[in-house]
Chain A
Amino acid sequence: MALSYLRSSSSRSANLLRPLSSAASLRRPISTDTTPITIETSVPFTSHQCEAPSRSVETNPSELLTFFRDMALMRRMEIAADSLYKAKLIRGFCHLYDGQEAVAVGMEAAITKKDCIITAYRDHCTFVGRGGTLLEVFAELMGRQAGCSKGKGGSMHFYKKDSNFYGGHGIVGAQVPLGCGLAFAQKYSKDESVTFALYGDGAANQGQLFEALNISALWDLPAILVCENNHYGMGTAEWRAAKSPAYYKRGDYVPGLKVDGMDALAVKQACKFAKEHALKNGPIILEMDTYRYHGHSMSDPGSTYRTRDEISGVRQERDPIERVRKLVLSHDLATEKELKDIEKEVRKEVDNAIAQAKESPMPEPSELFSNVYAKGLGAESFGADRKEVRATLA
């Protein structure tokens, strides 16, 4: 699958051709052309307490096609999750990211797997961007053993520590201090990497965010706070929740940048800029102006607090995938048919992953008691009827 191997440290390094054996469903290899192209972002960056980076972004055909494919995959994955939820194969909470794909994809293009990412509960696509597989996603959503958290976490608790993806957090705002802690550890270990702590416009008002930002600024931590501003905190529009919805300015003495979050290239440029800044000067805030097509979660139709016209308007004017499609076509990097083929292929990949996930069994009952501790010390644990069900924790 494209995502798992095309994650290189720089978008300009040569990417390997996908081995033909695993390209069974692809009729032609993705372009590996790394000839640089310069493209302007949709809008210039707006900055606070710093000088904005240039709106001319260096990219190449390979990268643009990767963007297209990855975003198409994420989009399809989220739509499929919607259907699975309605079919009651996914339970509980399910927060979908469709519309916001450019943030996940643009960010990955600017950083390495040594950099850390932590986000809240709208984490499926971020997980995939870090190298998680579709099988792990769907199996986890359906509570199966093949899930990334072996079925024990659910939609909001995806993790991939070997790619420095730290979840997957259900408590609004908690991930921001945690992310600053990741940055602390990176600085402590002197490994020249940074942390991106993502949060929404709803979480932007959390006190702990400002506590963590204060400490990060005091201690010069390489922490990048990324506000994915989709303009609604559940059902509350940003103007009803924040006295100042200029989230990129809320850091006061901490510099900030406002970015068109529907433009993957702008996201990439901003993240690259932020990484350089954080390594030298400490924390910075990025506000990604983005949009979610779905409601807050699958329990929310998403249309009681915003108009359908607004939703379809954004889809028409600002959809991230369409933007890249237009770029690819206008620069003659692929034909319409090729792009449609990619979408078909992606759809098939998603369907296959779902089928495979459905085959995966639910966890064994004994898994109820596993991983309570890393080191259980032989402590006892109990089921609902402790005379009936007890366990010794390893």
Chain B
Amino acid sequence: MGALRDCQVDARQTEDGTPLPPRASSIIELLFPFFFQKREKKSRGEKMLVVRKKMLGQSLLIRPAVSVLRSYSSSAKQMTVRDALNSALDEEMSADQKVFLMGEEVGEYQGAYKISKGLLEKYGPERVLDTPITEAGFAGIAVGAAYHGLKPVVEFMTFNFSMQAIDHIINSAAKSNYMSAGQMSVPIVFRGPNGAAAGVGAQHSQCYAAWYASCPGLKVLTPYSSEDARGLLKAAIRDPDPVVFLENELLYGESFSVSDEVLDSSFCLPIGKAKIERVGRDVTITAFSKMVGHALKAAEILEKDGIDAEVINLRSIRPLDRSTINASVRKTNRLITVEEGFPQHGVGAEICASVVEESFAYLDAPVERIAGADVPMPYAANLERLAVPQVEDIVRAAKRACYRSVPLAAAA
């Protein structure tokens, strides 16, 4: 528990290239590891469970999306990403008076996506502030508050609107500690949904991971599961530096299993460490946010064709966990990077460069990049589907990297 509070993590995995099991996050995982490897599928196969949410005093019913049933120990609970974020905000606001939340509709509306539900009632209008629709103004005000010692959590209704405030994120927040030689640290979190939703068109669908992650002085986090959401948001709020916390609207309603450890109010994940969601031997697939789910699905399909994929959930785009990525590539010798955003100068480009620089001799195939299409996001459903990476795209790229572009005959 002490390790959790300090957000430490053990030494890197697979440093010498030998596969190590993924780090167990609960005793259940340790005892029943095979249940926990394909996280995405597991979360859809739950029996009906009722999760009591302490802070809101109401129960949440979670229905299984798919009928594959598995039985679990009674200590494995289900939690949506939405609830994970809400509970993380609640706990951090409770633990530290200096933490406050600011954004459009975060208070009386309960949050545009209900992430801040119940917080206004609990903490009052001095700590949960509804702002006018003036991103440049309120982001600047939040950074100023952080200068003077408070810990703001700024919600952008989507990160597309953060562009109106980007000067404050970069020039007022990210660079201040450096320019002042350490006098002005800025303990602020900018959070909100990032990337494509469904049918929202070009101006509401951009992924900003690459833009923000290129800037020294920022930390950029991209949670996938509920565990990620809780642990990384808590870490972000506790961190003394400006953190850009990129959520995903389509993940808010998704349920994931969470251990008691994750539910504890001291739970925290380290910033800058990726998670190996699925151990594999033949090809490494890196992904973040929603694409982790796609990558895991792709891995299942690949398995049927005899390709054992290792899926890395990046969790942190800046700092980027180059050592985990490189160690994995040194093991598998093949790499697919997956991201939702525009391909040029994207996260995959950086990962590819890093691997070429550090592990060139280990590559048996060119690095493959799967990314959003190099076009503004179209509205029509069929075009939108073509503009966002699909599971088949990841599978196809993995096969290319394994020189198996023709599907194998059915395995014996």
Contacts and interface: CB of A to CB of B under 8 A. Distances in A.
A177 B100 contact: no
Contacts of B143: 177-178, 181
Contact of B136 (A116, A208, A371): A208
A130 to B, nearest CB: 13
Interface in B164-201: 167-168, 171-172, 176-185, 187
Contact of B319 (A183, A215, A379): A379
Interface residues of A, number: 54
A387 to B, nearest CB: 7
B357 interface: yes
A178 B172 contact: yes
8 contacts: A149-B180, A161-B180, A180-B144, A183-B144, A214-B134, A371-B177, A371-B180, A373-B217
A150 B241 CA distance: 20
Contacts of B270: 377
A380 B319 CA distance: 8
Interface stretch (A71-79, A162-170, A250-258, A317-325): A162-170
Interface string B212-254: 0000110100000000000000000001110000000000000
Given A181-B148, A211-B137, A381-B216, 8 more contacts: A177-B143, A177-B168, A372-B216, A373-B240, A374-B187, A375-B239, A380-B319, A386-B357
Interface of B: 100, 126, 129, 131-132, 134, 136-150, 167-168, 171-172, 176-185, 187, 216-217, 219, 239-241, 270-272, 318-319, 322, 357
A339 interface: no
Nearest to B240: A374
A184 B98 CA distance: 12
A176 B140 contact: yes
A174 interface: yes
Given A174-B171, A372-B177, A161 B184 contact: yes
A279 B166 CA distance: 31
Given A208-B136, A372-B217, A386-B357, A188 B185 contact: no
A178 B165 CA distance: 12
A215 B172 contact: no
A212 B140 contact: yes
Tell me which of B177, B180, B187 has the highest count of chain A C-beta atoms within 10 A of its own C-beta: B180
Interface in A85-124: 116, 118
A178 B147 contact: yes
B183 to A, nearest CB: 5
Tell me which of B140, B146, B240 has the highest count of chain A C-beta atoms within 10 A of its own C-beta: B140
Contacts of B322: 380
Nearest to A177: B140
A152 interface: yes
Contact of B241 (A116, A160, A219, A374): A374
Contact of B181 (A180, A182, A211, A371): A371
A374 B145 contact: no
A365 interface: no
A157 B240 contact: no
Interface string A195-237: 0000000000001101110110011000000000000000000
